[in-house]
Structure 1
Amino acid sequence: MPDPFALRPGETVAVLRNVRRLDGETVDLRLGDERLGDERIVDATGWLALPALGEPHAHLDKALTVDRASTRPNSLVQAVEQWHGMLPDITGPDVRDRAERALAQYAAAGVTAIRTHVDVPPDGDALRCLRAVLELRDAVADRMTVQVVPLISPATPLPVIEAAVREGADLLGGVPHLADDPAAETTRLLDVAERTGLPLDLHTDEALNLHGLDLADLAAQVLARGLQQRVTASHCVRLSLLPPERLAATLAKVAEARISVVVLPQTNLFLQGRDHRHSVPRAIAPVRMMLDAGITVAAGGDNLRDPFNAVGRGDPLETASLLVAAAHTDPREALDAVTTGVREVLGLPPAEDVADLLLVPDQSLTAVVAGPGDARVVLRAGTVLARTRVDRVTGLTLQEVP
């Protein structure tokens, strides 16, 4: 029987023998028909099987562009300005090339499902970025689930929004907090979602001030409409400024409206709070209180080496580690936010039910979340999607002192 690292991408696994699960039990995990032969039965002794990782909020059209711009630290407004300065030179083939390289990076980390927001530029062909990512979505559909969300700005005309829907967008997205009237922009986007039946994923309360509370308005409008499709609010860092009573009341309405929340610690910590010289607020949504309120919470990396986040490695375990450090979750909650939470937000079946798995050398849960580890084998529907091994050699072997 081969071990997991003897497998090549494209090979299908029927049974993982002697693999350990997160509950500590060692089992034979059946993924397919073991009558396929011994070569499909894998000796997983010494390996740990985890649900495959997910990325609930990416920007594939922006990925890997940071070196095209100034390397100065950016606030959100400065990052938007920098990206808009790049847009005239951003073409469909350019987006497709970078997005494909980014997907390969996510896959190697263990991601089998990803949701990406894609800009609808005000200049030239407004749908050029969207078409490029939709083409890539369809090209990799047998290997990775990619959900594509056009990122509608307040300046985007309704006919362009409708054209994006016709192109085959999976959801609708937007940035109401950048509008002069955020509530009116939320209404406009909800109108389109209600008319088309598409789910909605909005950038919400991505600011460290209390000039408004978009999430409270979104919850109120969803409840008033009785909207049935999935609604997701991403970012939500403004909620970290609310006093306990107001926060509790807001989260109760969010839970009642069945709105999921995607928290994005890395990009928010990178962009937010730069105008504070002391007592800098923590630029991360109040995850602990959201979980306690019964809200579905997922966590993502957001931007990947672009003006909105100069760093990032496309690894959800990096996000999970940040949740432990910055949001004070425990390691299991952090891992759930980048595995089961992501699949709930994306409306996908549990990873174990469809044999989407990440195999890592057997280790503690805390060690897994700390990442990145020395080896990963990624299975999508029981078929090897990627494998990575780190060859680490040091000169630090200690000699016994006589």
Structure 2
Amino acid sequence: MTSLPSSVTLLRHATLVDGGRHDVVLDEGVVVAVTAAGSVPVTDPETTLDLDGWLLLTAPAEPHAHLDKALSFDLIDPPYGDLGSAILSWTTYAATMSLESIVERARTQALAMLANGITAIRTHVDVHPGAPTRGLEALGRVREELAGLIDIELVALCSTQAGDADIEAALDAGVDLVGGAPHLAEDPVAEVERLVGFAARRGLGMDLHTDESLDGPVTLDTYALAVRGLRRDRQYSAGHCVRLGSMPREELFRIIGEVRASDIGVIANPITNLYLQGWEHPTRTPRGLTALRDLIDAGVRVAAGADNVRDPFNPVGRSCAFETASLLISAGHLSPVEAWHLVSDGARSVMGLPAAGPRVGARAELLAVRAGNLLDAIANAPADRIVLHDGRVVARSELRRSIAVPAFSA
């Protein structure tokens, strides 16, 4: 494939997740028809893509990123370790970084994610005491620069050390949601109530880092009860929720019931939680994941994200939803269809985005990969990809491979 149209009206011969081959018709960024492969005549070759041999998926969305921290590992050179050591390394470095350095790393990271197929990102941005708007100004600039290529939501990650004035200043800078990490506070319940108060007064949704530990405080039930009376046209979600994976079953089911009643979306972050959790258990190390199966079976809206990428909280990461989906299968024991749902349709639901994908009436947020089926795509993460945002091609990747041919004897 040598060239691609910027706008697309027809995708021909695409393989969908169900194994069927179809033509997909687009109009102004919306899927208007899905028919048998080859049934739609080509009227404009310039806006037609032939996807014979390609798998067409709902484009993934990243529901939990930290673009202000991304790609800082080599700059910081932190020790490998748990959540506490990562926080210390990051806060020490953060006091020295400039707005421009945040912009550069965040832009690079967002574009890497876009190239891999992610067309929407929700990023948490630190509200540092004394410099509460620096990160939000940087990410606001990146969001503006990349408008039309990728959608970016901003969450004010309010430090437990940030005073009310700092938080007010951050919210004035223009954010989509109120965030924080109440389980790290001296009084976790009071911190939940403080952050919920800001959301209520501002009419904003919330996305909290919640109970990110194998043991320790539980705030998810407090959070669920606190937001039940808030505006229902806003999104409320909880990231990590690692504690759910290690608590007694009776308590687990009680809390899941509260989460379901408040329609709180839960966002798992497998790669970062597998890395950060369990350092204190040298043998029979816990997985460090939330209770995925129980949440899904209970009807909770569940998403999954990559979280940190190459920073003190996760030294690796490929900026790719196939990596997250693979971990959901191997560590979370989900099926390939369930795993892909969590990084695509599930993520979009938790983020409050319109339905997307190759089905009639959905937004044309699409990812085509050179793969035979979904498991093949997740297992191999093919480099050949075409990314459509709002019905337009916004990224394309091609792999060129050369392998020496061995001499076989007759």
TM-score, scaled to structure 2: 0.92
Contact 1:321 1:369 (8 Å CA) reproduced: yes
Matches of 2:128 and 2:354, distance apart in 1 = 33
Give SS of 1:53's match. coil
Unaligned runs of 5+ in 1: none
Shift of 1:74: 1.8
**AA of the residue aligned to 2:26:** L
Q: Is 1:328 the equivalent of 2:323?
A: no
Q: Deviations over 1:213-252 (max 9, x none)?
A: 11121112223x3552321000001111112222112111
282-291 or 225-234: which moved more?
A: 225-234
Shift of 1:122: 2.1
Q: Is 1:384 the equivalent of 2:393?
A: yes
Q: Is 1:31 the equivalent of 2:26?
A: yes
Matches of 1:59 and 1:172, distance apart in 2 = 14
Q: Is 1:20 the equivalent of 2:25?
A: no
Residue 314 of structure 2 corresponds to 309
Contact 2:83 2:313 (8 Å CA) reproduced: yes
Shift of 1:399: 4.7
Q: Percent identity?
A: 40
Matches of 2:42 and 2:336, distance apart in 1 = 38
1:103 paired residue among 88, 110, 129: 110
Shift of 1:398: 5.1
Matches of 2:265 and 2:102, distance apart in 1 = 29
132-141 or 283-292: which moved more?
A: 132-141
**AA of the residue aligned to 2:278:** G
Residue 156 of structure 2 corresponds to 150
Contact 1:56 1:345 (8 Å CA) reproduced: yes
Q: Is 1:365 the equivalent of 2:374?
A: yes
Give SS of 1:100's match. helix
Matches of 1:157 and 1:72, distance apart in 2 = 29
Give SS of 1:31's match. strand
Matches of 2:210 and 2:375, distance apart in 1 = 31
Matches of 2:186 and 2:166, distance apart in 1 = 20
Matches of 1:257 and 1:32, distance apart in 2 = 36
Matches of 2:43 and 2:200, distance apart in 1 = 47
Contact 1:108 1:378 (8 Å CA) reproduced: yes
Q: Is 1:115 the equivalent of 2:112?
A: no
Q: Deviations over 1:263-297 (max 9, x none)?
A: 00101111111111222111011111110010011
Matches of 1:374 and 1:239, distance apart in 2 = 35
Counting matched residue pairs gives 393
**AA of the residue aligned to 2:343:** V
Task: Determine which structure has the larger helix proportion and give its number.
Answer: 1
Matches of 1:196 and 1:186, distance apart in 2 = 16
Contact 1:334 1:369 (8 Å CA) reproduced: no
Q: Is 1:263 the equivalent of 2:272?
A: no
Give SS of 2:396's match. strand
Contact 2:129 2:159 (8 Å CA) reproduced: no
277-286 or 97-106: which moved more?
A: 277-286
Q: Deviations over 1:113-172 (max 9, x none)?
A: 00000111224x321111110121122221111001111011111122122222110111
TM-score, scaled to structure 1: 0.94
2:175 paired residue among 165, 169, 172: 169
Unaligned runs of 5+ in 2: 29-40
86-95 or 64-73: which moved more?
A: 64-73
